[in-house]
Chains A and B, each alone.
Chain A
Amino acid sequence: MNPTKSSAISLRVNGETHSLTVDNRTTLLDALREHIDLTGTKKGCDQGQCGACTVLLDGRRANSCLQLAVAAEGRAVTTIEGMADGERLHPVQQAFLDFDGYQCGYCTPGQVCSAVAVIEEHAAGWPSAATADIRPETGPPPLDDNEIRERMSGNLCRCGAYVSIVRAVAEAAAQAAAVRESAGDTTPDGGSGSGTVPAGGSGARVTA
């Protein structure tokens, strides 16, 4: 047993390196909130059930309440505070603001971080439980409302902003696809490249 109860670590958060001494029991979430004063990452349950604490770890979304700070050393942590480009909001943040994809705002940082990752996961061709055809040769599924709903379901919103969240994510995804297209990115990983992302699309795949 290691008799040491605390550890000196350095955390790379939003491109900045922070040196801190943490109790070995400190979660990444508490390290961010209590030690680095980055309180944008929220604590809704502290036990991996709500998604409010979602951050990007090396570009992939993770519940920071389920990570120990000491285990996050050497990894790139991106929090909600690292999303905007100076004064310019990230397109996902702007879409949440414009479409009112929130009410109390407490789940919002987690939703935004998740949405940023969802758009990338989708563009990279990752299927979800809502994907009907997962054969690689069929390419990425269109990011329709059902895909967004499924992929965003790790983030609870008790205010019930889901309808607007889906629209905000669809809008931001359409923008991201347009950017990729104009950049000439037509690799299979780079989205469909043929405008199959229906902005604000319907749940039309479930036909009544």
Chain B
Amino acid sequence: MTAPTVSAPSTPMAVPSVSAATAAAGTTTSPAPTRTAGSSGAVGTSRTRLEGRAKVTGAARYAGEVPFAELAYGWLATSTVARGRIRSIGAEPVLAMPGVLAVLHHENAPRLKPGVGMMGPDATLQILQDDRVPHVGWPVALVVAETPEQARAAAEALVVTYDEEPHDVGFSSGHPGLHTPDGGPRARTDTEKGDIEAELAASAVVVDEEYTTPEEYHTAMEPHAAVARWEDGRLEVIDSNQGSHAVAQDLAKLFFLDATSVRVRSEHVGGAFGSKGLMRPHLIVAAMAATMLDRPVRVVLTRRQLFSMVGFRPATAQRIRLGAEPGGRLRALDHDATSFSSTINEYVEQSAQPSRVVYAADALRTRTRVVRLDVPTPSFMRAPGWAPGSFAIESAMDELAEKTGLDPITLRLRNEPEVGPASGLPFSSRNLIPCFEEGARRFGWTDRDPRPGTRRDGRWLLGTGMAAAAHSAGTAPSSASITAEADGTFTVRIAAADIGTGARTALTQIAADALETPLKTVRVKIADSDFGPAFLAGGSMGTASWAWAVTEAAAALREKLALVDQIPGEGTTARADTTELVMAMRGQERYAFGAQFAEVAVDVASGEVRVRRMLGTFAVGRVVNPLTARSQLIGGMIMGLSMALHEEGIRDTASGGLVNGDLAGYHVASNADVPVIEAGWVDDPDTYNPTGIKGLGEIGIVGVAAAIANAVWHATGIRHRSLPIRLDRVLTAGTAIENSIGGGAVTY
């Protein structure tokens, strides 16, 4: 190949990560966290995690690790057909196997209350209730035995026969079953402003493309686990979930129990990313078996079962039409998003969401369609809608930048809206432009040569790309209590969850400041449904919602303490519930924003794409703990890298099952895939939620896949509109350089 060798782009960021982090203009945490306690100003200071010692020594116990006398082990058996009815379950021979205590299935399992669900009736909770099989990997029986080895062998020996029916698992944007979802208050599926067709027709420049993303799986490292037991008339559960209170409520309803007779705890949770937001089958069957056998039962899902029972991000196909004036101003933005759900629940991936928020356009239309297939039920996965949607719209904006000859940041600046583009409501804050400016400066974007396919380093073609990011930053009602103890310390109780976010530490910092007391005098207890209602660790709403409840409780406690001379032995307690405060919030839209930058190298021989560096600059409100905030943002960006290059659930249309449902077949980014990555933030004051906090668990993943795909275009001159950007796709598409040399330009 005789491609021209051009020098590599200047890389001001390609310095050792340690010093770069310190040198950054006050927007990033310094690498060495302080560990001193102070009476005030705890918020905004880097703190190592309070449970850090327990985690690095292995002392922290996760749900499946708490020992009980007489513990029995449950193992699920799952369906092998994609659609049909169970004809028979061969329980007899299995019951005769060593150690087997019970085989639960649809004919003998306790009846559950129908219609229960955190966000409306959830048919995935109706486990072992009838003979219907809605997908491969649906739980059909639970085998309980004295040891895990016995339970596993028995579950594997269980013969289940089926009356199979024809199934359909094939998704495309042309599927005839696509329909408008039934919506409901949570799911605005369509928006329309202006005359989209007229504006498109009048536009000087038009982009009209389809973008696709595959099935993606949370793959938290801790498999879902639960142990259930009856103790003193209460169903006591230890479970891995994102919200113990909501799970306890649903569990009580499902089993026709009084809400007070169920307690759920989840002290340490080994990652979730949405998959532990709702109650999951392992907990339901553990509670069933504990009830039937009257002994503690633990059920842990296997890695393979996690690929069919705890949700996933459905594949999407999204058509974007952009119409612009020659100067780049958008006349029309049309985002048509399609995805799929199961036959039993209608989960809707709201991929058109970012297009309602990020850019101004004279005419704006968003549409969301879904088709029901014989597949497991998808659910929220980190930045649901926002992550796949941003891949489509941010790729399309890069194509528009190419067509108009504008710098991608300039194009975005020209389409910055004054108010919410779809709603017309004001933003509570919008600091996207500072993210572009600060990010561009740190990344060294300004000197960028816009021409694609012109930089080369040996067999590698080099390119840079960027994308904007937005994610909703909502608040939900929560409650908390704080007790002033007689010894001068404080105990905060809130049913928050720390799934790796650092919530426990952040809430301690918040409570210390609200109580004007040194950090070491505050003890925060979380993840116990007995602490009362609190929103789950999800939707980037956890810390902002809990912090408000904690500050309200602190204010109430200080008022109370002003009236008492001495704290009694049992302490003085104040409670707060933010329901009314949150319900009064209306009339504004609140988001976190960000700018993502990536540099890639594309191997022209193998098709491999390597990310060489990434930078994310974010507007995320008040940052409570810079150390853990940075970790969370970078963690999101790494999941975005993984989404761009590696992750793809491959469904076999013949069997209806997932071909690569384990960690060998479903590749998530490993250490060697990840380069120097930096995350920083800009000032973003926003007291619409008076704590000023916006969540940052999800914004990090948004826009990354587009930034990388745009960088791959810049490197090769070829657009990749389907994720992941696999080696074979890169090889098949080739590069603009090769294609022009070969004479026949390959269109892709």
Q: Which residues of A contact B (CB under 8 A)?
A: 5, 23, 25-26, 30, 33-34, 37-47, 49-50, 52, 79-81, 83-84, 89, 93-94, 96-100, 102-109, 112, 130, 145-146, 148-150, 152-153, 155-167, 198-204, 206-208
Contacts and interface: CB of A to CB of B under 8 A. Distances in A.
Contacts of A105: 51, 54-56, 60, 268, 270, 500
Given A103-B502, A104-B500, A201-B16, A208 B462 contact: yes
Nearest to B98: A5
A158 B639 CA distance: 8
A84 to B, nearest CB: 6
Q: Which 4 A-B pairs have the closest CB atoms?
A: A40-B58, A106-B270, A104-B500, A160-B638
Contacts of B637: 160
Query: Which of A81, A100, A165 has its CB near the most chain B CB atoms (within 10 A)?
Result: A100
Contacts of A207: 8, 457
Interface residues of B, number: 83
27 contacts: A5-B98, A39-B61, A39-B65, A47-B662, A49-B664, A80-B57, A83-B57, A99-B31, A100-B631, A102-B55, A103-B501, A103-B502, A103-B635, A104-B499, A105-B51, A105-B55, A105-B268, A148-B671, A152-B671, A158-B220, A160-B635, A160-B669, A160-B674, A162-B670, A202-B16, A202-B676, A208-B599
B18 A200 contact: yes
Contact of B271 (A49, A146, A158, A199): A158
Given A106-B62, A158-B221, A159-B635, A208 B14 contact: yes
B707 to A, nearest CB: 16
B18, B300, B612, B637: residue with the most chain A Cβ atoms closer than 10 Å? B18
B56 A97 contact: yes
Nearest to B147: A23
Interface of B: 8-9, 11, 14-18, 31-33, 48-49, 51-62, 64-65, 67, 98, 147-150, 153, 218-223, 268-273, 300, 302-303, 457, 462, 499-502, 599, 601, 612-613, 627-628, 630-632, 634-639, 642, 662-664, 668-672, 674-677
Contacts of B677: 163
Given A39-B61, A105-B500, A158 B219 contact: yes
A104 to B, nearest CB: 3
**Residue of B271, B302, B303, B599 with most chain A CB atoms under a 10 A cut-off:** B271
Given A103-B631, A109-B58, A208-B613, 18 more contacts: A23-B147, A23-B150, A26-B149, A34-B147, A40-B58, A44-B221, A47-B664, A49-B664, A50-B221, A109-B56, A150-B672, A153-B671, A158-B219, A158-B639, A160-B639, A160-B674, A164-B631, A166-B671
Contact of B56 (A5, A45, A93, A159): A93
Contacts of B636: 160
Nearest to A154: B670
Contacts of A44: 221-223, 303, 663
B670 A153 contact: yes
A200 B31 contact: yes
B49 A158 contact: no
B222 A106 contact: yes
